[in-house]
Structure 1
Amino acid sequence: MKRYAEIRRRSQTKSYLTGYGLSLLLTLAAYWSAMARPARGWLLLLLLAALAVVQLAVQLRFFLHLGKKSSPQWNALVFSFMAIVVFILVAGSLWIMKNLNYNLMNMPPSATEKTIIKDEGISR
C-alpha cells in the first residue's frame, strides 16, 4: 500500500510539473507574440486567442484534472458552469465599460464636473 501511494505521489508531481512547464511556455509565447508582433491586426488577435484556448486546455487537464475521472457528465457540468461564469464576467465588464464610455463621451466636461460635484455633495 505504501508503494502505491509513493507511485501516485510521483505521478501527480510529474503531472503538475508538466502542466506548469506548458503553462509557462504558453504564457511566454503569448507575451512574445504581443511584444514582437509577428503578425498584425486580426491575425495577432487570433494567435493570442488560440494560445489562450490551448492554455485553458492545459490548465483544465493538468491542474483541475478534467478528463482523468471516470464521470464525464460531472466534468461537462463543471466545465459548463465555469464557461457560463466566465462569459457573465467578461460580457458584464464589457457592457459596463461601453456604458461608461458612452455616457462620458456624450457629456461635456463642464457637465461632468457639475454632476460629480452634485453627486458628492461638494459646495463651492
Structure 2
Amino acid sequence: MSGNHTTSHEGENHGSYGSYIVGFILAVVLTVASFATVLSKAFSFWQTIAILGVLAAVQMVVHLIFFLHMGTKSLSQRQNLAAFIVTALMVLIVVAGYLFVLWDAQANMMAG
C-alpha cells in the first residue's frame, strides 16, 4: 500500500475565535429578542408571528455563516451554499404543497 494519502482542505474556511464569539453573541441577541417579543405582548398575534419568522430567518443565516461557514469565498463554499438553497426550496415547495392540499380538501369538504 502506498503511503501517499493526502487530505485536501482546499476551500475550507474555519472560523476564528472572534467570528465564533460574534456569531454566539448574535444568536443570543436574536434569541432574547424572540423571547422579549412574545413576553412583552406588545404586538398582535399575527405581528408576533411575523416578527418571530423574521428573527428565525435571521438567526438561521447567522448560524449558516458563523458556525457552518457557508459563504461564497471559494468554489466549495459556493457549491455547499447552492446545495443548501436548492434543498431549502424543495422543502418549502413540499410544505407549501402539503398545506395547500390540506386547505383545499378542508374547503371542499365544508362546502357541503
TM-score under structure 1 length normalisation: 0.55
Residue 97 (1) aligns with residue 91 (2)? no
Conservation of the 8 A alpha-carbon contact between 2:37 and 2:48: no
CA distance, structure 2, for counterparts of residue 101 and residue 74 of structure 1: 40
| Structure 1 segments unaligned to the other structure (5+ residues) | 1-10, 109-124
**C-alpha displacement at 1:83, in angstroms?**
1.5
Q: Specify whether residues 44 and 93 from structure 1 end up closer, same or farther in structure 2 by C-alpha distance, changes over 3 A only.
A: closer
What letter matches 1:82 in structure 2? Answer: F
Aligned AA (2:59): Q
Q: Deviations over 1:56-79 (max 9, x none)?
A: 332122211234x851x3322211
The structure where helix makes up a greater share of residues is 1
Q: CA deviation at 1:51?
A: 2.4
Give the match's secondary structure for 2:109. coil
> Superposed, which structure 2 residues align to 1:21-60 within 5 Å?
21-40=25-44, 41=46, 45=50, 47-60=51-64
- What is the rounded CA distance, in whole Å, between the counterparts of 2:20 and 2:36 in structure 1? 24
The CA distance in 1 between the partners of 2:103 and 2:53, in whole Å, is 25
Structure 2: which 5+ runs fail to align?
Answer: 1-14
CA RMSD of aligned residues (A): 3.1
C-alpha distance in 1, partners of 2:97/2:60? Answer: 24
Is 2:91 the partner of 1:106? no
| Aligned: 1:20 with 2:20 | no
Provide the identity percentage: 24
Q: Indicate conservation of the 8 Å contact 1:33/1:44, yes or no.
A: no
Paired positions, count: 95
Determine whether 1:85 maps to 2:87.
Answer: yes
Larger radius of gyration: 1
Which structure has more relative contact order (CA 8 Å, sep 6+)? It is 2
Higher mean C-alpha displacement, 85-94 vs 52-61: 52-61
